[in-house]
A and B are shown apart, each in its own frame.
Chain A
């Protein structure tokens, strides 16, 4: 559906993206993930046509659109700010593109009402000014405005980043439902790894203007290819490499949920003597931070915590879940 090859983006002397190659499949929810300034939004803006690349090509649905102006690409966009026209009501906002395309007013009305129904906006809300709507409703208006034009691709530029935590969580689910309902190829930009993991079919992780890894949420989470991806996607702890018989440049990491108290929980466990340094309560669970005798710190999450800071105990690490990075980075034979 989207084929990006050797893409390079520059702003003056600053290179925002180097030599990017990426394929996004039809109907896929594809996320561009990375910290601020990594180049993810630049890639999205290049797909939509707002930014011209200095190198490479973009093929959308078989058409080379690299030099094509925004209005000819059939790509819908929902901005971080939603960019709802403040002088228009919800109906006029959604109808904007249809009126530009000179649809008859009767058709405009039908199409707006139809899309509004699909995104759960009622007739009363259509008459209101966009400023009077809640954050969630504004997001639905922005999506409806983009989808009513029946684009082949929908691009979403951090649409949840302005919302509070509760609403963000709720809208994340709504967004996923809408994407499944319309089955539209969606390119989503975020810096929130949790959002990326829960929403996406596949994720591309970026850092400093280059692509670090592409994969399914499971792949990038449990099998990160670089240290950056491992640390960017969820909590992770570095553990002594010597325990696993690796040396040199290779570093060993373990995810929070693969550290156990009971040796029976791990398939092929490795014991580690530690002292508890801190215990933090998160409502549903506790995060306990430990320190090994040689100074490594690691954490895990537990439902109940019967220990206190300063207690010494033995932890068990599932060898098969250890992430080996750097050096030859191959897991040694057990």
Chain B
């Protein structure tokens, strides 16, 4: 029998054919989301609630009965609230003095305030410990005058809050700086023209305009406070333990995992709730300038001499608070154990022995290489995966795409320790979803974990960048008969290049010394920087290990600065072509030398000849 012609069927096939690349991409994205973002977390949840008798809430009851756990939850909320206030005060102040007011030496101040961009987490806490800790310089100096003082004065809530505040201003600096710079100068001039004082302008015009940015930074600060790890872990002591260190200690014992999960879920729920409140607030008001033309913002001079003097004093005091730990860390990294122990530095105290040890002890050196390789790999994979997803999101608007968009945020809702735990418990036996492989104990699971942790941030950044791509570029290219892939390669990617480089650099930097996820996932053969540094910060650490902490911290800062320099100073510089040319030439020379050596030829004559 002849088959009847079915135009609908034909058109369905045609549609399939037309969108085959998108369909294949979507299938891969769904596979990744289901297998790596959803399944491991569902497994952990099931582990906690499902017992032999079915669903049970015994663990929840157990958690609520535990004084220790409840005090952790309470402390986390207290820290988050306190940080929301202190980080805003400090964060807004440093942005005002670097971007809004005319302050002498603003550029230097800015560099100091930006130090948190290149060091954070355990290293930053270590830096503050070097000054204020029980072995710290300041504590030792104070001991000379107050021999009976409590050497652990910096431990507990106030110490945690102090360190978390100065560690937590990165988001404020990042977002508020841009928002302040892009403010319409006419708004300030209009207010001045209406006789408003500088303080009145700040409180009634500037801050209300910056409200959404401040709020976004506050939400991130609040989440940072809730999930704070390094500061409470090292400085919290027994009196001030928060959820994240608690989760870490609970997951390390099998019986505590379900409690850790419930604690993690509380964290996740609080985070989601905050994000929802923020979204609702954001959609309810107008904060952006309604002007069609925006005039360039000019810094404001503080005319009142006394006020100007006070603002300068505070600005420089904060500069010292920000930079002193880093300066001490760098200084101590070049001194011997005696200087570190006594806090007295003489000419004979300086040594390079610590650095020699770093380069010669394979365990130390390889931890650097491991961290760089793993974090680079994860950052690249996260960008490629999210790029694929966001590219689809920008082309298709349907429920599936919306679901993918939401799914990419899952890792923000779950503490990283639990994400790591989920991966660990899901892939510790051969699993058909990963081609019957056991991932536990392999490098793959660590890179996978890092990738997952970086997906939400990458997705937000790339989505925003895609939204800013003028659709007419694509239409213009299509009109000039360019194929889709050609447009993508030659038009879209170059426009997004700055964002891609920035995200790569930021992702890599934040993963370099990760500890909370790494501690569960790293293969014992490949220790990373975070694991090693943590071992140096333990209270029982010796003078020698503290010296190594400073060396690790200094080199970590150096690597972070180099990554940012390569990203912003080379790849995103206006003189990019020239820089890349120089790098290529240097690489050619180096490869030439190497090739000559391998060939057993005299390298001197031919080393400068580029490889053709």
Q: Name A residues whose Cβ lies closer than 8 Å to a Cβ of B.
A: 48, 50, 69-71, 75-77, 79-88, 96-97, 100-101, 129-131, 138, 145-146, 149, 162
The listed residue (A79, A82, A97, A131) touching B195 by CB distance below 8 A is A97
Residue B441, interface by CB 8 Å:
no
A100 touches B195 (CB 8 A): yes
| Closest partner residue, chain B, to A163 (CB atom) | B292
Interchain CA distance A85-B210 in the complex, whole Å: 12
Interchain CA distance A146-B200 in the complex, whole Å: 18
| Closest partner residue, chain B, to A129 (CB atom) | B286
B290 touches A130 (CB 8 A): yes
Question: What DSSP secondary structure best describes chain B's contact surface?
Answer: loop
Residues of A within 8 A of B289 (CB): 81, 86
28 A-B residue pairs with Cβ-Cβ distance under 8 Å, sorted by A, are A48-B193, A50-B192, A71-B193, A71-B196, A77-B189, A79-B186, A80-B186, A80-B293, A81-B289, A81-B291, A81-B293, A81-B294, A81-B295, A82-B290, A82-B291, A83-B190, A84-B290, A84-B291, A85-B191, A85-B205, A86-B187, A87-B286, A96-B191, A96-B204, A97-B195, A100-B197, A146-B193, A162-B292
Residues of B within 8 A of A97 (CB): 194-196
Residue B211, interface by CB 8 Å:
yes
Name the residue in B189, B191, B194, B286 with the highest tally of chain A Cβ atoms < 10 Å from its Cβ. B194
A86 touches B195 (CB 8 A): no
B192 touches A70 (CB 8 A): yes
Closest CB in chain B relative to A245 CB, distance in Å: 50
Shortest 9 CB-CB contacts between residues of A and residues of B: A81-B291, A97-B194, A83-B186, A87-B208, A83-B190, A71-B195, A79-B186, A131-B290, A162-B292
A77 touches B195 (CB 8 A): no
Binary CB contact string for chain B from 171 to 203 against chain A (1 if under 8 A, 0 otherwise): 000000000000010110111111111001000
Residues of B within 8 A of A82 (CB): 290-291
Interchain CA distance A50-B187 in the complex, whole Å: 13
B287 touches A76 (CB 8 A): no
Closest CB in chain A relative to B169 CB, distance in Å: 24
Residues of B within 8 A of A81 (CB): 184, 186, 289, 291-295
Closest CB in chain A relative to B108 CB, distance in Å: 23
* Chain B 570-591 residues near chain A, CB threshold 8 A: none
The listed residue (A75, A100, A129) touching B200 by CB distance below 8 A is A100
| Closest partner residue, chain B, to A133 (CB atom) | B290
Residues of A within 8 A of B295 (CB): 79, 81
Closest CB in chain A relative to B287 CB, distance in Å: 6
Q: Name B residues whose Cβ lies closer than 8 Å to a Cβ of A.
A: 184, 186-187, 189-197, 200, 204-205, 208-209, 211, 285-295, 303
Total residue contacts A-B, CB cutoff 8 A: 89
A86 touches B286 (CB 8 A): yes
B194 touches A87 (CB 8 A): no
A138 touches B190 (CB 8 A): no
B303 touches A86 (CB 8 A): no
Closest CB in chain B relative to A316 CB, distance in Å: 46
Q: From known contacts A83-B187, A87-B209, A87-B285, infer whether A75 and B293 are also in contact, taking CB-CB under 8 Å.
A: no
Residues of A within 8 A of B285 (CB): 87, 129
| Closest partner residue, chain B, to A70 (CB atom) | B192
Q: From known contacts A86-B286, A87-B285, A87-B287, infer whether A79 and B189 are also in contact, taking CB-CB under 8 Å.
A: yes
B291 touches A96 (CB 8 A): no
The listed residue (A96, A129, A138) touching B194 by CB distance below 8 A is A96
| Closest partner residue, chain A, to B291 (CB atom) | A81
8 further interface pairs, Cβ-Cβ under 8 Å (given A83-B190, A146-B193): A50-B189, A79-B189, A83-B184, A83-B186, A83-B187, A87-B285, A88-B208, A149-B194
Closest CB in chain B relative to A87 CB, distance in Å: 4
| Closest partner residue, chain B, to A149 (CB atom) | B194
Residues of B within 8 A of A76 (CB): 193
Closest CB in chain A relative to B200 CB, distance in Å: 6
Q: From known contacts A69-B303, A129-B286, A131-B286, infer whether A85 and B187 are also in contact, taking CB-CB under 8 Å.
A: yes
| Closest partner residue, chain A, to B285 (CB atom) | A87
| Closest partner residue, chain A, to B286 (CB atom) | A131
| Closest partner residue, chain B, to A81 (CB atom) | B291
| Closest partner residue, chain B, to A98 (CB atom) | B194
| Closest partner residue, chain A, to B292 (CB atom) | A162
Closest CB in chain B relative to A277 CB, distance in Å: 34
Residues of A within 8 A of B287 (CB): 86-87
Residues of B within 8 A of A100 (CB): 194-197, 200
Closest CB in chain A relative to B294 CB, distance in Å: 7
Residues of A within 8 A of B303 (CB): 69
| Closest partner residue, chain B, to A151 (CB atom) | B193
Name the residue in B193, B197, B287, B291 with the highest tally of chain A Cβ atoms < 10 Å from its Cβ. B193
The listed residue (B190, B209, B293) touching A162 by CB distance below 8 A is B293
| Closest partner residue, chain A, to B298 (CB atom) | A50
Closest CB in chain A relative to B560 CB, distance in Å: 37
Closest CB in chain A relative to B134 CB, distance in Å: 48
Residues of A within 8 A of B197 (CB): 100
| Closest partner residue, chain A, to B185 (CB atom) | A83
| Closest partner residue, chain B, to A158 (CB atom) | B293
Interchain CA distance A85-B190 in the complex, whole Å: 9
Residues of A within 8 A of B196 (CB): 71, 96-97, 100
Interchain CA distance A131-B195 in the complex, whole Å: 24
Residues of A within 8 A of B191 (CB): 85, 96
Interchain CA distance A292-B186 in the complex, whole Å: 51
Interchain CA distance A131-B187 in the complex, whole Å: 14
The listed residue (B190, B194, B200, B208) touching A79 by CB distance below 8 A is B190
Closest CB in chain A relative to B29 CB, distance in Å: 37
Residues of B within 8 A of A48 (CB): 193
B286 touches A145 (CB 8 A): no
Interchain CA distance A82-B291 in the complex, whole Å: 7
Closest CB in chain A relative to B124 CB, distance in Å: 35
| Closest partner residue, chain B, to A148 (CB atom) | B194
Residues of B within 8 A of A96 (CB): 191, 194, 196, 204
Residues of A within 8 A of B189 (CB): 50, 70, 77, 79, 83
Closest CB in chain A relative to B176 CB, distance in Å: 16
B190 touches A77 (CB 8 A): yes
The listed residue (B184, B195, B211, B290) touching A138 by CB distance below 8 A is B290
B200 touches A83 (CB 8 A): no
Name the residue in A75, A82, A86 with the highest tally of chain B Cβ atoms < 10 Å from its Cβ. A86
Interchain CA distance A146-B195 in the complex, whole Å: 11
B286 touches A75 (CB 8 A): no
Interchain CA distance A287-B275 in the complex, whole Å: 62
Residues of A within 8 A of B184 (CB): 81, 83
| Closest partner residue, chain B, to A89 (CB atom) | B286
Interchain CA distance A202-B68 in the complex, whole Å: 81
Residues of A within 8 A of B290 (CB): 82, 84, 86, 130-131, 138
Closest CB in chain A relative to B476 CB, distance in Å: 25
Interchain CA distance A87-B285 in the complex, whole Å: 8
B192 touches A71 (CB 8 A): yes
Closest CB in chain B relative to A97 CB, distance in Å: 3
Closest CB in chain A relative to B599 CB, distance in Å: 58
Residues of A within 8 A of B293 (CB): 80-81, 162
Closest CB in chain A relative to B191 CB, distance in Å: 7
Residues of B within 8 A of A77 (CB): 189-190, 193
Residues of B within 8 A of A85 (CB): 187, 190-191, 204-205, 208-209
Interchain CA distance A246-B322 in the complex, whole Å: 78
Name the residue in B286, B290, B303 with the highest tally of chain A Cβ atoms < 10 Å from its Cβ. B290
B195 touches A101 (CB 8 A): yes
Interchain CA distance A69-B287 in the complex, whole Å: 29
| Closest partner residue, chain A, to B295 (CB atom) | A81
